[in-house]
Structure 1
Amino acid sequence: MKWVVAAAAVTLGGCVSVSELERSHETLDVMSGKSPREYADCIKQNLAKTRETISEEARDDGLRLIVPQKLGAGPAALFDIDKRGSGSTIKLYERLNNFPLRLGDVRTAATQCISGS
């Protein structure tokens, strides 16, 4: 039953763009001792089994990762990773961020990569 509700929400939710994700409230706003490159590589490694190829864009002093949806087109999540001292600041924006049954692989990877591997 949960999957039926989740599938309906994905279908009815429509597509969202990167600019719409940027304007939404972040679901995670943290600092890490890892460099932007180390953190981005950790995210890519953790999501390699559950997501298609993650897009990466270089920014002024960091990186942006765009995570594709599992079902449908468009981004599911956006990571803004900026250099800060010897580490980085991370902001995560997720599609359906207020939907309690959303897939948890992105959030799990984001929190595991803060200090873990």
Structure 2
Amino acid sequence: MKLIVGALAVALLAGCTTPSDLMKEAPELSANTKKDPKTYALCVYPSWQDYRSSAVMSETSAGYRLVAGNDMNGQTDDVLDIRKIKGGSAVKLYQRMAWQQLGRAELKKSFNSCL
């Protein structure tokens, strides 16, 4: 019994996804906008808060990053990376299990409408 519980705990820990893990994969969506990173981040952030009240927006050395995850299992489900480029921003949306869009429609809608 202890062996089964230990194996289950290891399997759950191995499944944790961090923002860095998600950003190693190809983005689900990417685009450029003429808006500066802060303006774009403030435009999309309300949708992220509606999706997950625990969504976090933080300033990075290159721009801004929004992160939404599941507090119950420590998984990062969505990351929006917004980087300053000449003439605006490059935005990339990374999603764990991108095929599963239940509740995520507003994230993609705000991604596009805020461009």
TM-score of the superposed pair, with normalisation by structure 1: 0.71
C-alpha distance in structure 2 between counterparts of 1:16 and 1:71, whole Å: 13
Percent identity for Structure 1 against Structure 2 = 25
C-alpha distance in structure 2 between counterparts of 1:59 and 1:25, whole Å: 20
**1:48 match: secondary structure:** helix
Aligned CA distance change for structure 1 residues 72 and 109 (closer, same or farther; 3 Å): farther
Say what the alpha-carbon RMSD is for the aligned residues. Answer: 2.1
Match of 1:112 in 2: 113
Amino acid at match of 2:66: L
Question: Following TM superposition, by how much is the alpha carbon of 1:56 offset from its aligned partner in structure 2, in angstroms?
Answer: 2.5
**1:42 match: secondary structure:** helix
Aligned CA distance change for structure 1 residues 72 and 105 (closer, same or farther; 3 Å): farther
Deviations 1:41-80 (A, max 9, x none): 1111223323213222322231111122497542211111
Give aligned pairs, total: 99
Unpaired segments ≥5 residues, structure 1: 1-13
C-alpha distance in structure 2 between counterparts of 1:68 and 1:95, whole Å: 10
C-alpha distance in structure 1 between counterparts of 2:56 and 2:26, whole Å: 21
**1:25 match: secondary structure:** coil
Aligned CA distance change for structure 1 residues 23 and 31 (closer, same or farther; 3 Å): same
Aligned CA distance change for structure 1 residues 61 and 19 (closer, same or farther; 3 Å): closer
Unpaired segments ≥5 residues, structure 2: 1-14
**2:50 match: secondary structure:** coil
Amino acid at match of 1:54: A
Question: Following TM superposition, by how much is the alpha carbon of 1:86 offset from its aligned partner in structure 2, in angstroms?
Answer: 3.2
Does the aligned pair in 1 maintain the 2:45–2:57 contact within 8 Å?
no
